Amino acid sequence: MKKLLLAGVALGFMGAAPASAEILVAVAGPITGQYASFGAQMQAGAEQAVADINEAGGVNGEMLKLVVGDDACDPKQAVAVAQDFASQGVAFVAGHFCSGSSIPASSVYADEGIIQITPASTNPAYTDDRPGPGIYRVCGRDDQQGETAGAYLAKNFADANIAVINDKTAYGKGLADQTQAAMEAAGKDATVVESYSAGEKDYSALISKLKEEGVTVLYVGGYHTEAGLMARQAKEQGMDLQIVSGDALVTDEYWAITGDAGEGTLMTFSPDPRNNEGAAEIVKELEDAGKPTEGYVLYTYAAIQAFKQAAETAGSTEFDAMVTALDDGEFDTVLGNLSFDDKGDVSLPGYVFYEWSGGKYTQMDTAMADTGMEKKDDASMEKTDDAANDNMEAGEEKKAQ
C-alpha cells in the first residue's frame, strides 16, 4: 500500500494544496498531550482507510490525500485546526475525539460546508444542538452510555456506597451526570458526588475522602489518565475500590498507568468491532504493521468508509449532495451496516460492559442482561451479546459518542 503523506507542523499541516486529482480528507484529534493514545488510534484508522481506498481506485476516480490535525483535546486549538482545514480545502473530517473539541469545531465545519463525522465524541449536544447539516457520528451517545452504566450500578451494587465524580469536561461531566441520573432513576443514590481537575498527578486527598465516606465503588466520568492514577493511589491506601468508567478507558495506556491496580476495572464501550467478520482482514493488516486496533481505530476507519460511499452515491464531494447521500444512505462498514438519523446519530448497537484483567479489556458476556435495559424508541437499541457478535447489524435506533 502507498505510504501516506502526513502533515506535521504547527497545527498538523504541511505541504502544498491538493492536486486536482486528489480529494483532501482529514483526521483530527489529540495527536499530542495526555490523551495522545486516542489520537494514535484515530490516525491509524484513518491512514489504513485512506490507503485501502486508494489501493482500490480512490473515490470517483480521484485519490484521497490525508492531513492530520492535532487539537490536543483543547477547544480553542480544535477551532484553529478546523479553520486551517477549511483554508486547505478539506472536504471531510474524521474527528474530533473529545466532545469539547468536536462541538466548537462543528460550527466551523457547518459554516465552511465541510462534512464532519466524529468516531468518538459522545456528548449528546454534539448532534442535539448541531449548528447545521453535515455533522454526524458513528459512535454512541452519553445518554445511552450513562443509562447502561447507571442501571448496572444500581442493580449490581445496590448495597454499596457509590461515588460519582467527573473531570468537568463536556465528555466527563456529561457522562457522569447521565450515569448518576440513570442510577437514581433505578433507585440507587450516590454517596458522594464531586468534580476533580484533570491533569493532576496526586489524587490522594480525594481517595482519602472516599475512604472516610466508606465508598467501595467509584464511577469516574473522565479519561484513562486520571482514572488510572486513582486506581493506583487507592490501592496504595489499602482500599478495595471498584473502579467503573466509560469508553475513555479503551486504551492499553490505562493498564500501563495502573498495573495490577487496574485488575477488575469495569467500563462501558460499544460492542468490540474487532469481533466482526468484516473487520478481520483490516485488523490483521494493522496488527501485522504493528499498529493499534483497539478503541477508536475501526470507528475512524468506518467514518471514512461512510464518506467514500456517500461521495460515490452523490457522484461528487459537493456539500449539499453529500449531506443528502449521508442522510438517506445505508453504509457497509467495519462496524456493520449503518445509517444516520435526522440528528446525525448512527444506527448501531449501543453499549456493553467490559472488564480489565491481565492488561487487556474483555467484553462481559452477561453485561446487558445484568443491566435490565429495555429498548427505547429513537434513543437506544436493546442489545444482546448475539447482536454484538453478529456483525453488529444496524438496528432501528441510533447510537452515538
Is 15 a domain residue?
A: no
In a domain? residue 175: yes
**109/26 same-domain check:** yes
- The CATH number of the domain holding residue 299 is 3.40.50.2300
pLDDT of res. 188: 98
128 in the same domain as 197: no
* Domain co-membership, 253 together with 294: no
**Pair (318, 231) in one structural domain:** no
Q: Is there a domain that residue 343 lies in?
A: no
Say if 13 falls within a structural domain. no
Write out the residue range of the structural domain in which residue 164 sits.
Answer: 143-269+351-389
**Are 249 and 160 found together in one domain?**
yes
Closest CA to 276 of 191, 376, 170, 348: 348
Q: What is the pLDDT of residue 361?
A: 95
Same-domain pairing of 172 and 237: yes
Predicted local distance difference test score (pLDDT) of residue 18: 42
The predicted structure's pLDDT at residue 21 = 75
Entry pTM: 0.84
- Rounded distance, CA 207 to CA 400, Å? 32
Residues 171 and 292 in one domain: no
Residue 333 forms part of a structural domain: yes
Has residue 295 been placed in a domain? yes
In a domain, 82, yes or no: yes
Domain check: are 106 and 166 in the same one? no
Question: What's residue 391's pLDDT?
Answer: 34
The answer to whether residue 8 is domain-embedded is: no
Domain tally, the chain? 2
198 and 326 inside one domain: no
In angstroms, the CA 195 to CA 191 distance is 14
Q: What's the pLDDT score for residue 349?
A: 86
Are 229 and 315 part of one and the same domain?
Answer: no
Domain check: are 184 and 223 in the same one? Answer: yes
Please report, in tens digits, the pLDDT of each residue of the chain (401 residues total): 333 333 333 333 333 344 447 999 999 999 999 999 999 999 999 999 999 999 999 999 999 999 999 999 999 999 999 999 999 999 999 999 999 999 999 999 999 999 999 999 999 999 999 999 999 999 999 999 999 999 999 999 999 999 999 999 999 999 999 999 999 999 999 999 999 999 999 999 999 999 999 999 999 999 999 999 999 999 999 999 999 999 999 999 999 999 999 999 999 999 999 999 999 999 999 999 999 999 999 999 999 999 999 999 999 999 999 999 999 999 999 999 999 999 999 999 889 999 999 999 999 975 443 443 333 333 333 333 333 333 333 333 333 33
Same domain, 241 and 377: yes
